[in-house]
Every structure is written in C-alpha cells, then in structure tokens.
Amino acid sequence: MDNKDFKEQLAKVEKFHGHLCGGIVMGTKMTMHALEHLGMKLNEKNKDLLVFVEIDRCMADAVQVVSGCTIGKRTLKLMDYGRFSATFYKISAGEGVRITDNDIQNQNEEESKEDLVERLSSTPNEELFSLRKVKLRLKESDFPGKDFSKIVCPICNEIVKDDKYIVRNGVGICKACGEGSYYEYID
C-alpha cells in the first residue's frame, strides 16, 4: 500500500466522518487492502463491488468512502454483528475476501487516540488483519440494480422491496409486522 494513497484516503474519510480515530484508520487500511487484493483501483466508481460491513461504527464510514459503495446504491450492506470485519465481493469474478481485525491483542485502554492512530497507521496490514477468501450465499435480490420484487404488506399496507419480507401462512408480510419493529406508533 502506497503511503501517499493511504494519507489521501485517510484525509477524505476524516473529512466525511468528522474526526480521525482508530476505526477510521482501520476501515481505510482494510478497504485499501481488499481493493488491492481484488485488483480494483482507488478513486474509481465501481459497479462491480459489493461490501458487507459487520459493524455500525466509524469503520463503516471509512469503508464507504474508500470503496465508493453506499447503502443507497445497494452496494454496501450492513450485517450488524458488532465486529470490525468486512467482506468485499468482486461481482464479475465471483470472488470475495473477508478481512477481520487482528489488532485486538494490541489494544491498550490507556493508549491515547493520537497514539492509537499513529500505531495503526504504521502497522503493516498483515499484522492488523486476517484476509481470507470466502464464498458468499447471495440471491439475485442482493445485487444492485432495479427493484427485484415488490409486495404490499397486507397488515400495514406498506411496500416491501427486494425480497425483504417474510412469509407467514403462505402470505408475504413485512418484517416489522411479522417479527416486531424498532418503533411503536403513539398516535
């Protein structure tokens, strides 16, 4: 990984995210490492990449900025497992790599944010991360593009797209009605 490229990407991520921290450094390095491994270039719009992030923390912002993938384009998927891990999938090649955080042994509660950023920035990827090839279980509805499917939930009357519903008694219903939602109407 070229240090000039790393600094450039890190500055872009810091501007987007609002501050610099260990998660930003990890997500930036992780994404650059994955793109390099998959033979993809930085700073290019790429419709050939799907990324699955496993945490909704700072790292996810770095992955979004460096990869160019977004939730709205359906190329960035949040798998909320609470882990500093991500899977990068090159659609045309059917090739995926999952990168996980190896730095857990080096974490020190007393380390300042500045020291952490410096340590992570200078640590080689091979020490920070584990990179393994993976095979993904994807459905046609997981890929970007036009709506794959659309139903209207018979309970709440809201539209559910891209097979993101569940089937109860042979009828498709939204997950909120079928499994409970994070909200409750108060009016």
Number of helical (H) and strand (E) elements in the chain, helices listed first: 6, 9
Q: Where in the chain is the domain with CATH 3.30.1330.130?
A: 3-140
- The answer regarding whether domain 147-179 maps to CATH 3.20.20.140 reads no
What CA–CA distance (Å, rounded) separates 107 from 30?
A: 17
Could you tell me the two tokens for 101? 């955080």
What CA–CA distance (Å, rounded) separates 95 from 92?
A: 8
According to DSSP H, which parts of the chain are helical? 3-17, 22-37, 58-67, 113-122, 125-128, 175-179
The per-residue pLDDT for 180 is: 92
Question: Is residue 17 within 8 Å of residue 28, measured between CB atoms?
Answer: no
pTM: 0.88
The per-residue pLDDT for 177 is: 94
CATH code of domain 3-140: 3.30.1330.130
The per-residue pLDDT for 109 is: 76
Element (H, E) at 131: strand 129-134
Q: Where in the chain is the domain with CATH 3.30.60.20?
A: 147-179
The per-residue pLDDT for 14 is: 95
The per-residue pLDDT for 145 is: 82
Interacting residues of 129 by C-beta distance below 8 A, sequence separation 6+: 29, 30, 33, 99, 100, 101, 102
Residue 13 CB neighbour total at 10 angstroms: 24
Compute mean pLDDT per 10 residues along the chain, 187 residues long, and list them. Answer: 89 96 95 96 88 96 96 94 95 96 74 89 92 92 83 94 91 94 89
The per-residue pLDDT for 106 is: 66
The per-residue pLDDT for 104 is: 66
Question: Is residue 63 within 8 Å of residue 101, measured between CB atoms?
Answer: no
- The phi, psi pair for 5, rounded to 5°, reads -60, -45
Could you tell me the two tokens for 69? 């993938």
The per-residue pLDDT for 105 is: 60
Q: Closest Cα partner for 131 from 94, 104, 98?
A: 98
